[in-house]
Structure 1
Amino acid sequence: MAGRIGLILQSEGMGDCLFAIPVIRKLRQIEAPDTVFDLFSHHPDLFRACPYVAGNHRLDEGAVAIYAANNRIARLFDLQALPHWAMNTCDFISIPLGIGQLTLEEKQLEYFPVEQDCASHFDVVLNTSMTWPSRTWVQENWQRLADSLVARGLSVAVVGKDVRSASDEMEKRSPALAGCVDLVGQLSLDQTRFTIAHAGLFVSCQNGLAVLAGTTETECVILDKSVEWSRHAVIRHESPLYRATYVKGLCRDYCGVIDRCPKPENRGAFLCIPSFERVEAAVLQRLRASGRLP
């Protein structure tokens, strides 16, 4: 039945919002052609040119309440419905909506820039995002990796943004690195995406920019964490491993804990975070495979 549907995307995570786009695309296919979707989210910039929604608004529960008085509502991110950390993010969004699991083809990520591409080209682009202990590679390791790449004659840039997360009550930082072009906090989201798209390789922990990279054809090395990698894997060309390497640490439990390792024998250190040697080896392997290194 035609009408207006308000899509409420209640997540501060940019990656989660990007994972919602394939679900919205699927909804667009199964609803009546003249149905109008109005999206309410914390990241309206992600959806400025999204062809699957007609209205794009910043999430405000007061505005949603007024809208819901006359229109249908669908919530795309319900932490009470399913265990988010224990399953694929697209499935977490799509199953509670009653449309089941999306196929690998349907999980293809998309991004819709509105700015002209003004980005520079680099051999390697790094995102040094530092958040929770279980999802952070220490800055010393990032600097060692940057030094290793620069010493091989490669151009390296650092992208990211320092943000305050209200829901997590923490500062999320992306430190600059010596010897690298510092683009932290200097690029719009469109230009960040273009910079990743032009790079020979993108290296990041699993986070929003790793998902953004999944909308490009760029080779990626993604550092593992306390949540099993396939649950947040980017799907390109119907594969979670298309031009992507997920570097694991030593722990295989994937507990989902973010602040302190629950294993007493680990003394609080998250062994799911990979070592410098593992990450460097994966990075060099990708660069050699792509012809950037002999």
Structure 2
Amino acid sequence: MKTNYIFDLFTYHPDLFKACPYVDNAYPMADESYLHNYPFKITYLFDLKKLPHWDTDTFDFISIPAGIPQLSFKEKQLEYFPQEEDKAGEFDVVLNTSRTWPSRSWAPENWQRLADTLTAKGLRVAVVGKDVVSKADHMEKLCFALKGCTNLINKLSLDQTFFTIRKSKVFVSCQNGLSVLAGATDTRIVVLDMSIEWSKRAIYRYENPHHKISYVKGKCDLYCGEANACPLPHNNGSFKCIPEYERVAAAVSDALAAA
């Protein structure tokens, strides 16, 4: 709801806020000398000197404290304001097969098995995502297509990805940026909760991090966050924190039944 106040936002991603009804203007982040001469009162939401996440490609702003202890769950709720016209197709289930660190990636054969199960039921399934090279750790973060599914990898803008997820009944993903984007929709979400404890990446809807969201974890409660150096024995890259196929498939089935 607009007010008589002027609310200008300085951010490293001003394009994300062009359609936001709560912001009058969104500008690229300027240097401090300019900000000090800005004619209005300035409130810093993040101390970038202490939290330099803006310099990476995976800015998880939901899990970073904003430095304002009075923020409620409702005020943390994610919103996304697309600028493009909705041109997305409609699917029953949308999958994001993104592979990153071994302890945070589901095996390709599990994704294909899930896709086969869903398409065998006559469900329309699409795969979304984008291949990127992380500036932070120089890691290739890749998605892979699945047989029998519509391949939309590297074919959609962020807005069209948002529309595609929003139109689906269920969205399935690991803990990553698209699971956060999905939180701005009302679609049911299944998050593969691996080496990062779920509450650190909680998606708040209606002040409830479990509203239409299922966090499916493996058989490890350490949540060490390790990329390659798991403190527990594992075989051939199989980490205990990675959820088994049966648990994920059951969560997807329950989400579809409730959709």
Give the letter aligned to residue 134 of structure 1.
S
Residue 100 (1) aligns with residue 72 (2): no
Higher helix fraction (1 or 2): 1
| 2:88 corresponding residue in structure 1 | 119
Secondary structure, aligned partner of 2:205: coil
Contact 1:90–1:102 under 8 Å retained in 2:
no
Give the letter aligned to residue 69 of structure 2.
G
Please list, as runs of the form range in 1=range in 2, the aligned pairs for 1:231-270 lying within 5 A after superposition: 231-263=200-232, 265-266=233-234, 269-270=238-239
Please list, as runs of the form range in 1=range in 2, the aligned pairs for 1:148-163 lying within 5 A after superposition: 148-163=117-132
Cα distance in 2 for partners of 1:137, 1:58 equals 36
Cα distance in 1 for partners of 2:170, 2:219 equals 24
Ranges in structure 2 where 5+ consecutive residues have no aligned partner: 53-59
Secondary structure, aligned partner of 2:66: helix
| 1:280 corresponding residue in structure 2 | 249
| 1:76 corresponding residue in structure 2 | 46
Aligned residues: 248
Give the letter aligned to residue 8 of structure 2.
F
| 2:55 corresponding residue in structure 1 | none
Cα distance in 2 for partners of 1:246, 1:198 equals 21
- Tell me which of 206, 223, 229 is aligned to 2:192: 223
Cα distance in 2 for partners of 1:232, 1:256 equals 12
- Tell me which of 24, 27, 31 is aligned to 1:64: 31
Contact 1:261–1:269 under 8 Å retained in 2:
no
Cα distance in 2 for partners of 1:77, 1:199 equals 37
Contact 1:94–1:101 under 8 Å retained in 2:
no
| 2:5 corresponding residue in structure 1 | 33
Secondary structure, aligned partner of 2:44: strand
Contact 2:216–2:247 under 8 Å retained in 1:
yes
Give the letter aligned to residue 273 of structure 1.
I
Contact 2:46–2:66 under 8 Å retained in 1:
yes
Residue 173 (1) aligns with residue 142 (2): yes
- Tell me which of 240, 244, 247 is aligned to 1:271: 240
TM superposition shift of 1:206: 1.0
TM superposition shift of 1:234: 0.8
Deviations 1:11-50 (A, max 9, x none): xxxxxxxxxxxxxx9xx99xx934x433221x44322212
| 1:11 corresponding residue in structure 2 | none
Secondary structure, aligned partner of 2:123: coil
Contact 1:113–1:190 under 8 Å retained in 2:
yes
Task: Say what the alpha-carbon RMSD is for the aligned residues.
Answer: 2.6
Deviations 1:22-81 (A, max 9, x none): xxx9xx99xx934x433221x44322212344443455xxx4255345245736264846
Deviations 1:163-201 (A, max 9, x none): 121112111111111110011111111111011010011
Ranges in structure 1 where 5+ consecutive residues have no aligned partner: 1-24, 83-87
Residue 155 and residue 45 in structure 1: after superposition, are their counterparts in 2 closer, same or farther (change >3 A)? same
Contact 2:63–2:201 under 8 Å retained in 1:
no
Cα distance in 2 for partners of 1:134, 1:216 equals 27
State the TM-score, normalizing by the size of structure 1: 0.76
Residue 51 (1) aligns with residue 21 (2): yes
Residue 195 (1) aligns with residue 167 (2): no
Residue 134 (1) aligns with residue 103 (2): yes
Contact 1:260–1:270 under 8 Å retained in 2:
no
Residue 58 and residue 275 in structure 1: after superposition, are their counterparts in 2 closer, same or farther (change >3 A)? farther
Secondary structure, aligned partner of 1:125: strand
Contact 2:20–2:81 under 8 Å retained in 1:
yes
State the TM-score, normalizing by the size of structure 2: 0.86
TM superposition shift of 1:89: 5.5
Cα distance in 2 for partners of 1:206, 1:79 equals 26
Give the letter aligned to residue 74 of structure 2.
E
